[in-house]
Structure 1
């Protein structure tokens, strides 16, 4: 669940041996995901795993107050799916003039701490998609 990076990736093809529900929405913010969470919970069977990648659209809108909404999101997911494993993905590095990747690294550190405090897994994708300077790799 998350934004366009989730929505437009062919998860069903990549993990064809699993039942995959792609809950990504282009342009979605953390608050947008939280807003539609009741609908998701009402329609989604209890998954083994939940993967979350959201927040970059908040960063793009200079909205750095989304962490409290992220906490509410995690609390509701843990309540709705107590046996599901929850994974928070880091934000990816970007090539967008008005977003500094140092800010994304700061956000990712806060997401890592948030994951730790909620006893969920944090997946650091940023490091896999950035060079030694922290900028996006080519290709």
Structure 2
């Protein structure tokens, strides 16, 4: 079974990963309300606690964006460098920010471009774009991807996110995930 270290905020923390990704051993290290700089401060402790994951997924910056602190992609670059040093051959995954209705699409696009550039600049690092799947599979009235707060994910939102993660893991680890 693949082991994925998931780092991030409430979107990671509140995911029911054993149900969403039963074929993956998710080490859930999400902390609600956390900003990217707080994740950066605890990064080495997380690495020490999980010395041998098969992949590392980072989903961070939602709270930064909501509070208008838009320089967090720069901090993510230094985090990716530290992760690469500690996990030389482990695939790193930078998750895009979700297309939250509360955030202006232009701001979200700009941040996600910066996150994609950060991922591309790091060896064996992959950008997981969740915007397209959310726009295609989450419909505001019949299948909303977000709760009423327009930030946190609904059951449907988590299902779409998990399917997107699984799709990338299948590409990175062919034949390692069941069915």
TM-score by length of 1: 0.88
Q: How many Å apart are 1:12 and its aligned residue? A: 2.2
**Aligned-partner SS, 1:36:** helix
Match of 2:126 in 1: 121
Q: Encode CA deviations 1:9-67: one digit per residue, 9 max, x unaligned.
A: 11122222332200111111111110111210111131011111111111111111212
Q: Could you tell me how far apart the structure 2 residues matched to 1:68 and 1:105 are?
A: 16
Give yes or no for the alignment of 1:48 onto 2:48.
no
Where does the alignment leave 5 or more consecutive residues of structure 2 unmatched? 1-6, 144-179
Separation (CA, whole Å) in 2 of partners of 1:93 and 1:124: 10
Q: Report what 2:79 is aligned to.
A: 73
Specify which structure has the higher proportion of strand.
2
Q: Which residue of 18, 21, 29 corresponds with 1:15?
A: 21
Distance in 2 (alpha carbons) for counterparts of 1:74 and 1:137: 33
Using structure 2 for the length normalisation, give the TM-score: 0.70
Check whether the contact 2:9–2:60 (CA below 8 A) recurs between aligned residues.
Answer: yes
Q: Which moved more, 1:87-96 or 1:13-22?
A: 13-22
User: For structure 1, which runs of at least 5 residues remain unmatched after alignment?
Assistant: none
Runs of 4+ with deviation above 3 angstroms:
none
Deviation by residue 1:73-93 (Cα, 9 ceiling, x = unmatched): 101111111121101111111
Q: Map 1:1-139 onto structure 2 (within 5 A).
A: 1-96=7-102, 99-119=103-123, 120-130=125-135, 137-138=139-140, 139=143
Task: Say whether the 8 Å CA contact 1:48–1:83 is kept in structure 2.
Answer: no
How many residues were matched structurally? 133
The DSSP-based 3-state class of the residue aligned with 1:22 is strand
Match of 2:169 in 1: none
